[in-house]
Amino acid sequence: MAVIGTLLFSLLIAAQSVALAVLVVRLSRGRTRPPAVEPLLHELRDTSVSIVVPARNEGARIGACLEGLGEQGAPMLEAIVVDGSSTDGTAELVDAASARDPRIRRMLEPPKPPGAVGRPWAIAAGCRHARGEWVLVVDADTKPNAGMTAGAVAAARQHGYDVVSFAPRIVAPTAGARWLQPAFLATLVYRFGPVGVDVVDADRTMANGQCLLMRREVLESAGGYAAAANSYCDDIRVVRHLAQRGARVGFLDGRRLFDVTMYATGAETWRAWPRSLNMRDATTTRWSVLDALLLALTLGLPVPVLGGLLLPGAREQLAGAAGTPGLAAILGINAALLIVRTLLLVAVRPSFATAGFAFWLSPLADPAAALRVIATMIERPREWRGRARAPGRSSTSASV
């Protein structure tokens, strides 16, 4: 039994060592990433942008989005709010905004076919009615800053992107949200690397559908947004779909362009965010397995391992099973992983509107966040914004 225990600890040390090396190399690419994109307050009149906003029962949140859209100058040509049969006053808010600014208009989401998911189906409908050179998908829970649209187009031009999305500044109103959201964000950064780093492999391209800019002709030539109509991570699906067809795609820091209040509480964050973080229907089985292993080894283990070694007698028992060198190796690797996680927390601090005590304690939530994301990789989600998925599944689903 002692030999088996030593062997298992040796395998764990080897696996965590490899995971740590992969993580350090991946995160180190962020040293040369471009700075946060700035809003552009002078107008761009040599192009045009159609903004598409999917909305269903967003009455409590869409007001700030509509206000921000009204502050956009050229190149915003129009803002199409696709209403998914809202029953909470969303339609009235959009119509009132339209009366103030005729560039904003509401359209009803067309009936969904079997297998379609609400958000991408609504976006696809809005994109079909768009007239601008660019299409900018914006979520109803965002608060666009003045100059967001022009700044996004200028950044796309500067970097030569056909498709580019932007990471937000996150507004986490409660301590629970500020504790969990940095931990869930870490699961993304650990798997895909920092924002602003170009990715060669189209299957590992990242995107954020809260602010996603696409050349309309590039989107239409690839079949439109309907290519992701059955996906719960439609932003990732459509961007990878476009990248595979030759579009140059990017993911930039947009924290100065817009704010987003995704989930107000820790409970809401826990329940809803992993639904899109798992990326199950846009990721192959091989990458899902590798991602799950990386999250377990780098986020799931350090806090329990280091915390467990503080228990009376734990070190002696571990030293007896793994040997003194094994104990030192386990301590060193997990301490290094916790240091990396702390450095990441410092790096992402500007992407949160407020921090506070809960934010800095978020590494304690890492094991639960990693386990939650891994679990959702196994079970496909069944609803979006409270709407159950229609029965059936399109044959165009990605390999999972």
Q: For 221-239, how does the pLDDT look when each residue is reduced to its tens digit (9 = 90+)?
A: 999 999 899 888 899 999 9
Both tokens assigned to 156: 């796309």
| Maximum CA extent, the chain | 76
Domain ranges, residue 249: 35-168+208-276
Please tell me the predicted confidence (pLDDT) of residue 71: 96
**Encoded amino acid at 194, one letter:** P
In a domain, 295, yes or no: yes
Tokens 């846009």 correspond to: 282
Q: Are residues 331 and 264 in the same domain?
A: no
Both tokens assigned to 213: 């800019």
Q: CA 386, CA 139: separation in Å to the nearest integer?
A: 16
Task: Dihedral sign for Cα 82, 85, 86, 92, please.
Answer: positive
Q: Are residues 149 and 241 in the same domain?
A: yes
The confidence band for 393, taking pLDDT boundaries of 50, 70 and 90, is very low
Asked if pLDDT for residue 389 goes beyond 50, the answer is: no
In a domain, 389, yes or no: no
Asked if pLDDT for residue 382 goes beyond 70, the answer is: no
Please tell me the predicted confidence (pLDDT) of residue 2: 58
Please tell me the predicted confidence (pLDDT) of residue 385: 46
Asked if pLDDT for residue 143 goes beyond 70, the answer is: yes
Q: CA 385, CA 142: separation in Å to the nearest integer?
A: 15
Please tell me the predicted confidence (pLDDT) of residue 264: 92
Q: What is the mean pLDDT of residues 13-21?
A: 95
- β partners of residue 143: 259
Q: CA 298, CA 336: separation in Å to the nearest integer?
A: 10
Q: Identify the weakest region by mean pLDDT among 27-36, 270-279, 353-362.
A: 270-279
Q: Are residues 40 and 26 in the same domain?
A: no
Q: Are residues 124 and 52 in the same domain?
A: yes
User: Phi, psi at residue 352, to the nearest 5°?
Assistant: -120, 135
Q: Which residue has the higher pLDDT, 82 or 328?
A: 82
In a domain, 178, yes or no: no
In a domain, 174, yes or no: no
Whole-structure pTM over 0.85, yes or no?
A: yes
Q: Are residues 119 and 251 in the same domain?
A: yes
Q: What is the mean pLDDT of residues 358-374?
A: 96
The confidence band for 123, taking pLDDT boundaries of 50, 70 and 90, is very high
What separation in angstroms does the CA of 65 have from each of 139, 235, 275? 8, 19, 23
In a domain, 250, yes or no: yes
What separation in angstroms does the CA of 70 have from each of 101, 178, 317? 7, 30, 64
Both tokens assigned to 283: 């990721």
152 by DSSP, 3-state: which? Answer: helix
Asked if pLDDT for residue 396 goes beyond 50, the answer is: no
Q: Which residue has the higher pLDDT, 81 or 277?
A: 81
Please tell me the predicted confidence (pLDDT) of residue 387: 45
Asked if pLDDT for residue 209 goes beyond 60, the answer is: yes
Q: For 181-200, how does the pLDDT look when each residue is reduced to its tens digit (9 = 90+)?
A: 999 999 999 999 999 888 87
Burial of 63 (0-12, 13-18, 19+ CB in 10 A): middle
Task: Give the start-end residues of each E strand in the chain.
Answer: 49-55, 76-83, 104-108, 134-138, 142-144, 163-167, 169-170, 211-215, 249-253, 258-260, 383-384, 387-388
Does residue 51 contact residue 79 with C-beta atoms inside 8 Å?
yes
Q: Are residues 149 and 11 in the same domain?
A: no
The confidence band for 3, taking pLDDT boundaries of 50, 70 and 90, is low
Q: Are residues 22 and 150 in the same domain?
A: no
Q: Are residues 78 and 104 in the same domain?
A: yes
Q: Which of 239, 256, 276 is the last residue of a domain?
A: 276
Q: What is the mean pLDDT of residues 54-69?
A: 95
The confidence band for 386, taking pLDDT boundaries of 50, 70 and 90, is very low
Q: Are residues 344 and 308 in the same domain?
A: yes
Q: Which of 276, 298, 331 is the last residue of a domain?
A: 276
Pairing mode, strands 163-167 and 249-253:
parallel
Q: Identify the weakest region by mean pLDDT among 2-16, 31-45, 289-303.
A: 2-16
In a domain, 388, yes or no: no
Q: Which residue has the higher pLDDT, 322 or 89?
A: 89
Q: Which of 246, 276, 306 is the last residue of a domain?
A: 276
Please tell me the predicted confidence (pLDDT) of residue 379: 67
In a domain, 248, yes or no: yes
CATH of residue 93's domain is: 3.90.550.10
User: Phi, psi at residue 205, to the nearest 5°?
Assistant: -70, 140
Tokens 């820091």 correspond to: 253
Q: How many domains does the chain have?
A: 2
Q: For 302-342, how does the pLDDT look when each residue is reduced to its tens digit (9 = 90+)?
A: 999 998 887 777 777 666 666 667 778 889 999 999 999 99
Please tell me the predicted confidence (pLDDT) of residue 312: 72
Task: Dihedral sign for Cα 168, 169, 173, 177, please.
Answer: positive
In a domain, 332, yes or no: yes
Q: Are residues 244 and 368 in the same domain?
A: no
Among candidates 138, 172, 144, 177, which has minimal Cα distance to 353? 172
Task: Give the start-end residues of each E strand in 217-318.
Answer: 249-253, 258-260
Please tell me the predicted confidence (pLDDT) of residue 48: 98
Q: Are residues 144 and 94 in the same domain?
A: yes
Percent of the chain's residues with pLDDT above 70: 91
Q: Are residues 6 and 22 in the same domain?
A: yes
Please tell me the predicted confidence (pLDDT) of residue 19: 97
The confidence band for 214, taking pLDDT boundaries of 50, 70 and 90, is very high
- Mean pLDDT for all residues in the chain: 89
